[in-house]
Structure 1
């Protein structure tokens, strides 16, 4: 790769990707009504702006493009956050305006260059831009990335981001980076009287989608454990003895059942109430064994959810446009 040339106006003419970590409320502000704000940001900056999927308290916003487009996108985000702060202050008695704060997600291998020897680089950034910059001491969970927090006026933040981009281009990441993926907000699920409820705080909220799944599972032929002649009635209020059911899943499909960092299999465990164990890959075998343990109702629901997951994935393969949402 050729060395980066600084253009006369101080911008860098090179493509870069910057990742931001935002709370749900901040993401909502960036997306805007019917996606109008993010659409405008994409059009006016020329940068690609992608927002991670999922009902997580935190989301990753990825900004990609030539650095001048990234700076424009950052400016629009910083000014939007400032506008939100001003609007929230109009109905509060606070007199001093809090600074705008952005959190970047940076590979840990580049953080040393951002800090500099004895903290010289980060000190220089703070002094020359007026922004506060802090690099987290610990890596974000299950990743090799750290959060870099920048706060100050929108103008200070933009100058600071420009300097961070220069450092990131001059010191590319070393080795493989495991990107940080926010975890979904897990809400406990309970089944009662044929209804599914999610627990939020002190309340049980009826959940129509899970109820539908639960009722569909109830309509499936209940699984009869070996040696049991009378079919087990899949009633949830009575608790029939736990039984076990085994499935074989092709190796190349096991990933879609497990999901990223086990998210899908954990969802299926939580929704069905069944214990699900996936055997390690056996040498020379093209399949993996899945053991489902629980009441017949739990097992039916787990099987239903696994099949539903296969259907979702098959639909995505037939419609590549929807792949990004999985």
Structure 2
């Protein structure tokens, strides 16, 4: 929920603040909000007075942005929460389940505001849970390629609305610090990997493959070094050498991240060598240099897989560091 204070207008009732709240929804939830030919979302816009925008794209996840004065936002939230409850009731009529699951909404909040939301020793989030009856959870990790975290609220629609009101107050009292990199869901066609409940995608220099792609690369690497996963190029059949010639690729890694590539007593680097079938050499630290040279030798498939595995280690390390 990126909350930005766009305007402050002194009105009779005190301060009237325009906010922007962002929600993360799955495709099915978005379909429910849009409705047939967009009728549901149009009705929500008309009746609440809030601007409701839904991110484009064939993504498994979409961002729903709600903007307007606080009272219009709360009306829009109430309509969404009651619509989700209606969906739950309808789905239950076809199932034997007797206990009604709670309505769940996921807000997207700049990580710099999450501390205020949790409060000292968790005091603020505890107070919110107790006073509204809603369950509130702040994700430990940031959403991929962003500086935002997911905040999950679940409970009855009434509890959710009260909880959102309290969250808005906290956000207004503690604006985001520094620039926020907003979370943008990736299209379904982009390779995605899940680690610790988070999806990682290929972004810039950190290339993380979809597990299927990793398997294909691994199989390819194994085919080209049939019985020798450590990089020797023994032909699959004596006298028939089908292995492509070995080539070399060099990478530079910052000194402070080299530890996550090597692992304790070299466990990680050995794992990467075995999985990729490439030979990997890490140069000694050069005096005055903040980087270390890594040399990868093997077939193109070996090298490609080794690079992916190294980048996967880097990304999980960087993402982990970012959430502290």
| Aligned counterpart in structure 2 of residue 208 of structure 1, from 207, 211, 219 | 211
CA pair 45-232 structure 1, distance change in 2 beyond 3 A: farther
Per-residue deviation, 1:152? 0.1
CA deviation profile, 1:46-69 (whole Å, cap 9, x unmatched): 111111111110000000110101
Per-residue deviation, 1:230? 36
CA deviation profile, 1:268-306 (whole Å, cap 9, x unmatched): 999999999999999999999999999999999999999
Moved more, 282-291 or 167-176: 282-291
CA deviation profile, 1:137-179 (whole Å, cap 9, x unmatched): 1100100000000000000000000000000011000000000
CA pair 219-94 structure 1, distance change in 2 beyond 3 A: closer
CA deviation profile, 1:91-148 (whole Å, cap 9, x unmatched): 0000000000000000000000000011110000000000000000110010000000
- Could you tell me how far apart the structure 1 residues matched to 2:14 and 2:265 are? 38
Q: Is the 8 A contact 1:196 1:211 kept in 2?
A: no
Q: Is the 8 A contact 1:19 1:60 kept in 2?
A: yes
Moved more, 299-308 or 166-175: 299-308
Gapped regions of structure 1 (runs ≥ 5): 311-317
Q: Is the 8 A contact 1:278 1:288 kept in 2?
A: yes
CA pair 206-87 structure 1, distance change in 2 beyond 3 A: farther
Gapped regions of structure 2 (runs ≥ 5): none
Aligned length: 318
Does 1:26 find its partner at 2:29? yes
CA deviation profile, 1:297-324 (whole Å, cap 9, x unmatched): 99999999999999xxxxxxx9999999
- Could you tell me how far apart the structure 2 residues matched to 1:306 and 1:168 are? 38
Moved more, 213-222 or 131-140: 213-222
CA pair 136-202 structure 1, distance change in 2 beyond 3 A: closer
CA pair 249-14 structure 1, distance change in 2 beyond 3 A: same
| Aligned counterpart in structure 1 of residue 163 of structure 2, from 150, 160, 172 | 160
CA pair 265-203 structure 1, distance change in 2 beyond 3 A: closer
Per-residue deviation, 1:41? 0.5
- Could you tell me how far apart the structure 1 residues matched to 2:174 and 2:197 are? 58
| Aligned counterpart in structure 2 of residue 108 of structure 1, from 94, 108, 111 | 111
3-state SS, counterpart of residue 15 of structure 2: coil
Per-residue deviation, 1:84? 0.3
3-state SS, counterpart of residue 150 of structure 1: strand
Give 4+ residue runs of structure 1 displaced > 3 Å after superposition.
Answer: 4-12, 187-310, 318-326
3-state SS, counterpart of residue 260 of structure 2: helix
3-state SS, counterpart of residue 169 of structure 1: helix
Q: Is the 8 A contact 1:48 1:64 kept in 2?
A: yes
- The normalised TM-score by structure 2 is 0.57
3-state SS, counterpart of residue 12 of structure 1: strand
CA pair 251-159 structure 1, distance change in 2 beyond 3 A: same
- Could you tell me how far apart the structure 2 residues matched to 1:143 and 1:193 are? 16
CA pair 250-138 structure 1, distance change in 2 beyond 3 A: closer
